[in-house]
Amino acid sequence: MCSLRVTTDADRLRTELRDNSVRVIDVRRAEDYKKDHIPKSVNLPLAVLLSDDDPQRVAKIAQSLGIDDQTPVVVYDDTFGALASRVAWTLEYLGHADVSLLEMTYGQWKSLGLETDQKEYLFGPKTHSVHPRPEILASADYLEKRKDQKGVILVDNRERLNYLEQHIPGAINIPYRTLASEDRILRPHDELKRLLKNRGVVDDAEVITYCGSVGTLSGLAYYALKSIDYPNVKLYVRSFKEWKGLNKPTTKQENADYWDLSAE
């Protein structure tokens, strides 16, 4: 079972909104949503979802937002697509088939002068089944067992300095900022393909992505890889925070004071 599309462009979303054939989820904070949002979108702040993302609860949330198994869902944020990715991935994990990311951030949507609205929307409850998809999830144990095996590539999506300082042994670093273009949350397909090919991330590998704590930045990477049809991608959703908490091995770039090159 595979999502029908990874990103949705603005024109398509506007058509679907007119036809009432889509559910749009705004994952920004409630106060931002209240100010304005894409018309007919519903609000699911990432923090609300993350407080308990057990599939049973996620199914209930989906139902309350008027999403059943067949409802096409488009998710957006104003944080370069990373928060939206985490929400989309959670729905996908639940077993929802048709979930995609708006190809731009809300800020970009607004700057293009596209419709916004202040009205808050609620849709009648629907029924959503629970068919978890463990094949898109990596746990710490799974990762530890698999990461050094042939054909498995571990990708760290945090910023370069964080990676240099500490990372899971064997991981390569593709900072989340690498994935976006200037006006889209993901680069064009040919660019992504070339970039990953240069880095040795081949499409017949099992690719596991991780980031700092809750799988947002690596969630974006998950969708970047899916957008170019990598068939076997997993998100280590609890990411480096859990890995360190479990006292599992880490490694670093030794004998260089790279932090002092930063102007932060």
Partner 1 sequence: MSKVITKPEDPRMPAINWARGEEAENFAKTVRLYRQGKIDADSFRRFRLQHGAYGTRMTDDYAMVRIKIPAGQIYPHQLEKIAHLSEAFSIGSAHVSTRQNIQLHWVVLEDVSEIMRELADVGLTSREACGNTVRNVMCSPLAGVCNKEEFDATQYAIATAKFLLRNPLNQALPRKFKFNFTCCEDHGMVRMTDVGLIPQTRTIDGKPQRGFKVFLGGGLGNKSFVGHQLEDFTPEEDLLYTSIAVIRVFDRLGDRKNSARNRMRYLVDQMGWETFQNLVLKERAIVRVTQSVIVKLDVDTAVQDISSPVRISGFDDKSIPDGFSRWRKTNTCKQKQGDYYSVSVTLEAGDVTANQLRTLADVCREFSAEGHARNGFVQDLYLRYVQESDLPRLYSRLLKVGLANPGSLTMVHPVGCSGTTSCNLALTNSHRLAKEIQRKFIEMRLDEDDDLRDTTIKISGCPNSCGQHEIATIGFYGGGSRMNRDMYPVYQMSLGGRSDGQTMLGVSVIRIPAKRTISAILKIIDTYKENKKAGESLKMWIHKIVTGHADSKVKSVDDIKKILLPLTEVPAIAADKDFYSDYGSDSHYHTRTGKGECAA
Contact positions vs partner 1 (CB under 8 A): 80, 105, 107-108, 110-112, 159-161, 164, 172-173, 175, 177-178, 182-183, 194-195, 198-200, 253-264
Nearest distance in Å: CB 109, partner 1: 9
Give the amino acid at 231.
P
User: Which residues are CB-neighbours of 200 under 8 A, at least 6 positions away?
Assistant: 153, 172
Closest contact distance (angstroms) between CB of 172 and partner 1 is 8
Name which of 11 and 19 has its Cβ closer to partner 1: 11
If the CB atoms of residues 11 and 254 are measured against partner 1, the closer one turns out to be: 254
19 versus 254: smaller Cβ distance to partner 1? 254
Q: How far is the CB of 256 from partner 1 (least distance, A)?
A: 4
The answer to whether the beta carbons of residues 104 and 185 sit under 8 Å apart is yes
Secondary structure (DSSP) of 116-177: -B----------------GGGEE-HHHHHHHTTSTTEEEEE-S-HHHHHH-B-TT-EE--GG
Minimum distance of partner 1 from residue 228's CB (angstroms): 15
User: Which CB sits closer to partner 1, 19 or 257?
Assistant: 257
Q: Which is nearer to partner 1, 8 or 79 (CB)?
A: 79
CA distance linking residue 5 with residue 13, whole number of Å: 12
CB of 66 to partner 1, least distance (A): 29
Degrees to nearest 5, angle at CA 93 with 29 and 184? 55
Amino acid at site 174? I
